[in-house]
Structure 1
């Protein structure tokens, strides 16, 4: 998996209200616009925070993207997912 590719998608989602809205409604529609491997697509469609952390994806970028998609009310779930990661 490419950290760069995953981070590029995350950046685009948090940088564009339109893309974040499309992701909320139809994640495959937006993800199919990128040249993703099957694993990258799955990781991003599930917004698999645990796997992203293990790959070394920038955590600030993950947080910003999570909030762009889920709004501030999604922060508790994001923090719960982060806190559940075993070192």
Structure 2
């Protein structure tokens, strides 16, 4: 219905992270309390950063909520990858700096995936 309703959901997640647990248990039931279109509900459920940004949702708000929904191991580089069409921006780095940064990011992603698979790390992914 409005960008405001979507932003309100994310603001309330950031303001009271325990609401995320209720959202994870039953996303559809949780989102019924808000006047959202099915498309907006899908954007929230899947944390579709590109669609949220295109819809007008404040990217600082999605940046705040991303680690709460996806876990700290997914931050900050996976956020940038999602916002940049699946590629890590070069951030002005070349040569060994760029190779080292990308290797570090891949290591963190692998470590996070292993922790989740073994039940040892962070929040479960919403919509996964």
TM over 0.5: yes
Q: Unpaired runs of 5+ in structure 2?
A: 87-128
> What SS does structure 1 have at the residue aligned with 2:36?
coil
Computed over aligned residues only, the root mean square deviation of the Cα atoms, in angstroms, reads: 1.8
- CA, structure 1 residues 27+16, in 2 after alignment: closer, same or farther (shift >3 Å)? same
Size of the alignment, in residue pairs? 85
Which structure's relative contact order is higher, taking Cα pairs within 8 Å and 6+ residues apart? 1
Q: Unpaired runs of 5+ in structure 1?
A: none
The residue correspondences of 1:22-41 to structure 2 (distance < 5 A) are: 22-41=22-41
Which runs of structure 1 show a deviation greater than 3 angstroms over 4 or more consecutive aligned residues?
Answer: none
- Which TM-score applies when normalising by structure 2? 0.58
Corresponding residue of 1:12: 12
- Which TM-score applies when normalising by structure 1? 0.81
**Larger Rg belongs to:** 2
Corresponding residue of 2:83: 82
Q: Which protein is richer in helix relative to its size?
A: 1
